[in-house]
């Protein structure tokens, strides 16, 4: 795994965005895996700036990592909403090219199977953008997830439910299940770009990079991927062993 540390989360995200843009530039495999959450917002902001300056992503298909079970797509806490407002519209994607698991479908297991089948049909994405949970999750592959897991319905851990509580302050219960791409699905991407910032991610980042490859820290599975890069701010990198500096 390669590690790039920049002085701020904004700069780390901007550098990750330039990498993503470069990996999509030749247009031969226009499939981008997208994460939601706070971590990739600077990355999407920089990609939007590049689009405003002439980068054309109109042929790109976006495939989301995950979606809550039972939350309607129109709910502003849903990942459908996040992907539309923070990714599809600012990046000028064709709405027909935006694929988010249908967590509110009557049968979310069948929705998970459809998402997996769509990703397999294209041979995996060119580049998968990832965040990391404080507990080491990627997508919603919580600790205990197997390296061979595929897109499925999962139970969220108490940690993750507590972390998501900040978005559900109106009394709506925090969803307890999600549809998530599996670990094997994520690892089928040709390139992985993980962004993390803040000291709350430091321990998970350290375990992902320096710990054993173990279901206890699903992000540690990235060690088995031929091209995974972490883009970090100093706080997220604060528990790492000495790094070889990468020039700006
Ligand atoms: C989101 C996702 C999650 C988040 C992770 C970090 O699609 O799959 O793995 O990336 O929970 O969330 P933030 O960035 O909000 O701290």
Q: Can you give the pLDDT at residue 146?
A: 98
Q: Is residue 216 among the annotated active site residues? A: no
Question: Average pLDDT for residues 203-228, to the nearest whole number?
Answer: 98
Is 118 in contact with 181 (CB distance < 8 Å)? no
Q: Which sign, positive or negative, has the C-alpha torsion 73, 197, 229, 151?
A: negative
- Three-state DSSP at 201 gives helix
Q: How confident is the model at residue 242 (pLDDT cuts 50, 70, 90)?
A: confident
Q: Can you give the pLDDT at residue 118?
A: 98
d(CA 168, ligand 1 centre) in Å: 16
Token duo for residue 180: 């998530």
Q: How confident is the model at residue 247 (pLDDT cuts 50, 70, 90)?
A: low
Q: Can you give the pLDDT at residue 29?
A: 98
Q: Is residue 11 among the annotated active site residues? A: no
Q: Is the pLDDT of residue 248 over 70?
A: no
Q: Is residue 142 among the annotated active site residues? A: yes
Q: How confident is the model at residue 207 (pLDDT cuts 50, 70, 90)?
A: very high
Helix or strand holding residue 161 (H, E): helix 158-164
CA angle 236, 237, 238 (to 5 degrees): 95
Interval 112-171: pLDDT, tens: 999 999 999 999 999 999 999 999 999 999 999 999 999 999 999 999 999 999 999 999
For the chain, the residue count is 248
Token duo for residue 138: 């990627």
d(CA 37, ligand 1 centre) in Å: 5
Token duo for residue 115: 């998402």
Nearest alpha carbon, ligand 1 atom 12: 37
From the alpha carbon of 198, which atom of ligand 1 is closest?
16
State whether the beta carbon of 38 lies less than 6 angstroms from ligand 1: yes
């Amino acid at each position: 795994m390669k590690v790039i540390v920049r002085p701020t989360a904004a700069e780390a995200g901007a550098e990750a965005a330039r990498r993503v843009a470069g990996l999509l530039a030749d247009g031969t495999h226009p499939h981008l895996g997208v994460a939601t959450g706070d971590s990739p917002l600077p990355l999407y902001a920089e990609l939007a700036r590049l689009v405003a300056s002439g980068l054309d992503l109109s042929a790109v298909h976006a495939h989301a990592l995950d979606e809550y079970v039972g939350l309607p797509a129109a709910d502003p806490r849903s990942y459908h909403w996040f992907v539309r407002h923070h990714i599809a519209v600012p990046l000028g994607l064709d709405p027909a090219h935006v694929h988010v698991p249908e967590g509110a479908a009557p049968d979310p297991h069948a929705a998970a199977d459809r998402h997996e089948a769509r990703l397999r049909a294209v041979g995996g994405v060119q580049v998968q953008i990832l965040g990391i949970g404080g507990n080491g999750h990627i997508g919603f592959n919580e600790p205990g997830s197997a390296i061979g897991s595929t897109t499925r319905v999962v139970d969220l851990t108490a940690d993750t439910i507590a972390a998501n509580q900040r978005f559900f302050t109106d009394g709506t219960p925090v969803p307890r299940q999600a549809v998530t791409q599996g670990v094997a699905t994520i690892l089928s991407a040709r390139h992985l770009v993980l962004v993390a910032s803040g000291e709350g991610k430091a321990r998970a980042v350290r375990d992902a990079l320096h710990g054993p490859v173990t279901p206890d820290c699903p992000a540690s599975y990235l060690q088995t991927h031929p091209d995974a890069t972490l883009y970090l701010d100093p706080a997220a990198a604060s528990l790492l062993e000495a790094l070889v500096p990468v020039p700006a």
